[in-house]
Structure formats: C-alpha cells, structure tokens
C-alpha cells in the first residue's frame, strides 16, 4: 500500500493512493484541487497535480 501526505487546510492528511479516483484542478485564488476518492468522499488540497504525482512516484 502506498500512502502520501497532502496539504489539507493548515494541516496535512495521510492518503492511501489506491483510494484516489481522480484529481480535479481548480483555477481559483486559493489554488486548491479537488481530490475525489473511490468511496465518494472528496477533499480540497493546495498540492498541485505535479506535486501529487511526484509524491506517488516517490513511494516504493
């Protein structure tokens, strides 16, 4: 199992990579991206898509 840490407001959130369904980029002033999970839940993160992909690729 692969876990990554994402920015979630002023905190960080540990996320199981296999549960991520997709990421929707947003062009708003906060620069938040919507991360949708297989469970139907979604969170907003300030990590860019490039950062998220790099975090996933860095996992063994």
pLDDT at 31: 74
CATH number at residue 31: 2.40.50
Contact 35, 23 (CB under 8 A): yes
Q: What confidence tens digit (pLDDT) does each residue in 38-58 have?
A: 999 999 998 988 899 999 998
Q: Residue 23's domain spans which residues?
A: 3-57
pLDDT at 5: 95
Q: What confidence tens digit (pLDDT) does each residue in 31-42 have?
A: 788 999 999 999
| Domains held by the chain: number | 1
Residue 28: pLDDT band by 50, 70, 90 thresholds?
low
Q: Which residues contact 4 (CB under 8 A, 6 or more apart)?
A: 14, 15, 17, 52, 55, 56, 59
């Amino acid at each position: 199992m692969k876990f990554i840490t994402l920015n979630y407001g002023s905190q960080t959130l540990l996320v199981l990579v296999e549960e991520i369904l997709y990421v929707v980029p947003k062009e708003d002033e906060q620069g938040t991206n919507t991360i949708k999970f297989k469970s139907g839940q979604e969170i907003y993160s300030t990590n860019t898509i490039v950062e998220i992909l790099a975090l996933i690729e860095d996992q063994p």
